[in-house]
Amino acid sequence: MEDLKNWGVFLDDIPPEGLKIEFKDISNLGDDLKVKKPFSGYLKLKKIGIEVKLEGSLNGVLSLECDRCLTNFDFPIQHEFKIDIKPLNSLNIEGEKELMEEEMEVSFYENSWISFYNILREEIFLSIPYKKLCKPDCKGLCPICGTNLNKKTCNCKIYKKESPFAILKTLLKDKNLEKGGQ
């Protein structure tokens, strides 16, 4: 697989009319990103002074590990983004004020080099939810015996008592019984 770490463009090589890069079959994005279906998309760059306005789109499928049951699941990503890319040395000068002005994402380049590799990685990481779940109601693993509770139930009663939902259910049941319901 080709090394994508050197994939990018020098600021000087962006023509006045802008630059559009289309890409496909991108899968080698580092060991921390397991790519199930390679990424495709585009990057459009427009140079304005020392800043670059970037618009992009990416499409692919990652394999993520569920935070609860630790099994791998497919996570499709379809993501469109706009980034203001500024020189890294402007970070200290302009400070937080600039960052707060717009909702726009800001990224930085160093030594006149804009790394597409880093941009794609950043955007993919931004698309991954904070809580990674194979399904919204994943039951997770039993903390006592380690059984994947999506697949089968175990007899560890402590887990069931600890679950707030289980308690709530029991309470609701009791209430219904009092009322003569089911």
Report the C-alpha dihedral over residues 45, 25, 122, 28, rounded to 10 degrees. Answer: -130
Query: Rule CB under 5 A: is residue 134 a binding residue for Zn ion?
Result: yes
Rounded to whole angstroms, how far apart are CA atoms 13 and 52? Answer: 12
**Least distance (Å) from Zn ion to the CB of residue 177?**
28
Q: Which stretch binds Zn ion (CB under 5 A): 35-43, 74-82, 92-100, 142-150?
A: 142-150
Q: Which range, of 6-14, 116-124, 139-147, 169-177, touches Zn ion by CB under 5 A?
A: 139-147
Instruction: Cite the beta strand spans of 49-170 per DSSP E.
Output: 51-65, 72-87, 105-109, 113-115
| Of 87, 105, 156, 160, the one binding Zn ion by CB under 5 A | 156
**69 makes contact with Zn ion (CB under 5 A):** yes
Q: Binding to Zn ion by residue 119, rule CB under 5 A?
A: no
**Closest-CA residue to 33 (of 67, 64, 2):** 64
**Member of 29, 43, 45, 66 binding Zn ion (CB under 5 A):** 66
Question: What three-state secondary structure class fits 161?
Answer: helix
Two tokens at 149? 């509770």
The site for Zn ion (CB under 5 A) is made up of 66, 68-69, 134, 138, 142, 144-145, 147, 154, 156
